[in-house]
Amino acid sequence: MNRTKRKIFETSMNLFATKGYDATSIEEITSVVGVAKGTLYYHFSSKEEIFNFLVEEGMKLLQNSISIKIANCHTLASKLKAVLLIQIKVMTKYEDFMTIVLSQVLGKESRHLTCRKYVFEYIDLIEKIIQDSISNGEARDAELDDPKVLASGLFGITYSILLYKIKNGDKVDINNLYKEYERIIFSKYNIK
């Protein structure tokens, strides 16, 4: 991604997260970036295309991070701990991105459906990790009636991390947060 496209991308992400998609205009994006509309339209055909690109790239980053991290894990517990830690780190490092995705998952417009599609693909990835671990015998003691519930719940933690972060004035101790969520999740499902 060239420098101008990256600046448009980052500026749009910040504006969408702070003002909302509807309240952000192309004019505002170009003004903050310091480029003409023609330059923006050279890289993106519309505000919706910027939004879709942003969501797609961010969710790919999250999925790739998970795939890389779990490649060397050999138990369900180690895989789910990796997923949990990555989600906490992504939530704290890329809060604007996660704010956009989480705020746009519900609704009927195309951007809501786009966010939902990528979120569901991500939850499906977590569910596959769980299912594969069960099939491989890596989850012998786990009390999992429905892996979809655990997979959705793990993604749902991102909502609570965001709320926790906002409530505590953005002061987040990643290690403490991780330990608390780990204790809650792993004791609930008897995952060892």
Q: What is the pLDDT of residue 140?
A: 65
141 — pLDDT class (breaks 50, 70, 90) = low
Per-residue CA distances from 22 to 28, 47, 53, 80 (Å): 12, 10, 17, 36
Domains of the chain: 1-45 (1.10.10.60), 50-188 (1.10.357.10)
Task: Please give the residue that has the higher pLDDT: either 183 or 128.
Answer: 128
Q: What is the pLDDT of residue 44?
A: 94
pLDDT per residue as tens digits for the range 48-103? 999 999 999 999 989 999 999 999 998 888 999 999 999 888 888 888 998 899 88
Instruction: State the greatest distance between any 2 C-alpha atoms of the chain, in Å, as a whole number.
Output: 60
Q: List Cβ neighbours of 31 (8 Å cut-off, separation of 6 or more).
A: none
Work out the angle at residue 63's Cα, subtended by the Cα atoms of residues 10 and 46, and round it to the nearest 5 degrees. Answer: 35
pLDDT per residue as tens digits for the range 110-120? 999 999 999 99
Measured in whole angstroms, the distance separating CA 179 from the mean position of its chain's CA atoms is 20
pLDDT mean across residues, the chain = 89
17 — pLDDT class (breaks 50, 70, 90) = very high
pLDDT-wise least confident of 4-8, 22-26, 39-43, 186-190: 186-190
State phi, psi for 89 to the nearest 5 degrees: -65, -45
